[in-house]
């Protein structure tokens, strides 16, 4: 599904909603601890498997940067989540003393069902197996979504 189609579906699913960062729900800064715990669980899972999966390719130093989820301000229902990554490859060759760097970023959508309560997402993805746990209302894990993205 293209990004434009996905955005249209999400907008249609939660009409008239006003969104805030999940870290700012239910009030500014109030969700930081819970959201950061979930993000750290996902990053630990990513780091544990990266060397055998995503980091074997052209961008061997792939790093998870930041996970962000938009939630409705009034109800705390998830609209969309994106997890950003960066990677680079560098080389020295020929007669140039300047290394050549090829850097790239990715924004990977997590296929969270629009309208999922933030509390459900936080409770499901806070454990040791966060990366492999199916997202609420789906049989797709964050790992599966990253395979499609990275």
Model confidence, pTM: 0.85
Give the separation between CA 72 and CA 103, rounded to whole angstroms: 34
pLDDT, tens digit, 9 for 90 and up, residues 11-22? 445 578 899 999
Domain ranges, ordered by start, for the chain: 20-149
pLDDT, tens digit, 9 for 90 and up, residues 58-69? 888 899 999 999
pLDDT, tens digit, 9 for 90 and up, residues 106-115? 999 999 999 9
The larger pLDDT score, comparing residue 8 to residue 97, is at 97
Does residue 144 have a pLDDT over 60?
yes
pLDDT, tens digit, 9 for 90 and up, residues 20-75? 999 999 999 999 999 999 999 999 999 999 988 988 888 888 999 999 999 999 99
**So what's the pLDDT on residue 23?**
98
**So what's the pLDDT on residue 57?**
82
Structure tokens at 66: 């930041």
**So what's the pLDDT on residue 6?**
41
């Amino acid at each position: 599904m293209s990004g434009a189609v996905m955005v249209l579906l999400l907008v249609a699913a939660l009409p008239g909603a006003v969104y805030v960062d999940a870290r700012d729900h239910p009030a500014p800064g109030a969700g930081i601890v819970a959201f950061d715990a979930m993000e750290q669980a996902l990053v630990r899972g990513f780091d544990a498997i990266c060397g055998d999966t995503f980091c074997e390719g052209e961008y061997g130093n792939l790093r998870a940067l930041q996970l962000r989820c938009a939630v409705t301000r009034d109800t705390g229902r998830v609209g969309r989540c994106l997890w950003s990554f960066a990677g680079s490859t560098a080389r020295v060759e020929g007669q140039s003393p300047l290394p050549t760097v090829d850097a790239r970023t990715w924004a990977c959508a997590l296929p969270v069902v629009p309208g999922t309560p933030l509390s459900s997402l936080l409770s499901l993805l806070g454990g040791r197996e966060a990366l492999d746990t199916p997202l609420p209302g789906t049989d797709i894990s964050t790992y599966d979504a990253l395979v499609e993205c990275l």
